[in-house]
Structure 1
């Protein structure tokens, strides 16, 4: 089998950033989608996010994206990586990291500043409503904003190295 794109990135040197993970074109519709790697921690060198924080970020991020006036119709998916070092954002279009940088900044500012009940975190709305931690989610959002998104440069929008 062929190695999938995300396993081709050398995680030993990967840093937090906003990376284009892959692009797919559907021959039947002519539609292109872009998957972004919203990497929040340095893999294998920093602690991973707790599942309760990841879950809260997922709920808040998805709510923000589905309500964004400009992007709601273009976003296909937002969800966590299994390794808990970041999130995937999938959108319609042949896009670059710079195309979504402002959207990602606004989303994480929303999470960082959120007050109140986490949307969709009631037993009738969520399959694991207990496992949400708003305090941790806000901490991770603050960190990602300050350390990565507010100083995002070209080195953190293009993967540093691919495995052979």
Structure 2
């Protein structure tokens, strides 16, 4: 890769990272001083594994809804098109350990959820594509490796 790309993750060597991890991917400051921190929450090893869409879709709904019970700093939680993780954008929140705690608390909430929020045709663009059990399996697998979340390249960053 010779030319620097505009998108931060396109400049990341996906063959060098070791999922699971959560890393600060970008910081943007608005004209009035508000700062958005974007985190790369990588669940699956790039180009080796991916989440199935119904489970990923349900996990997106669950995390988007449940994370806001823990903080009012969430701007967005978005799935990656490659189906290997999510981007988490937070407003004026740069405490990395607190972000790890937020993700942990949110995923623990996922494990006890009894339904997928907004899983209906009125509130969702593809309501037929959901799996609560699949979302719980992904959440549990990521939580099981909690001690690795800070190891982006398989070693302390």
> TM-score scaled by structure 1?
0.85
Equivalent residue, structure 1, for 2:56? 54
Gaps of 5+ in 2: none
Q: 2:133 aligns with which of 107, 132, 135?
A: 135
Equivalent residue, structure 2, for 1:79? 78
Q: Which runs of 4+ in 1 moved over 3 A?
A: 156-161
Shifted more, 80-89 versus 58-67: the winner is 58-67
> TM-score scaled by structure 2?
0.88
Equivalent residue, structure 2, for 1:95? 94
Gaps of 5+ in 1: none
1:62 Cα deviation after fit: 0.7
The number of residues matched between the two structures is 153
The within-5 A match list for 1:1-164 is: 2-3=4-5, 4-15=7-18, 16-26=20-30, 28-45=31-48, 47-68=49-70, 71=71, 73-93=72-92, 95-115=94-114, 117-147=115-145, 149=146, 151-152=147-148, 154-156=150-152
Residues in 1 aligned to 2:109 and 2:137: alpha-carbon distance in whole angstroms: 12
Sort the Cα spacing of 1:158 and 1:76 in 2 relative to 1 into closer, same or farther, 3 A: farther
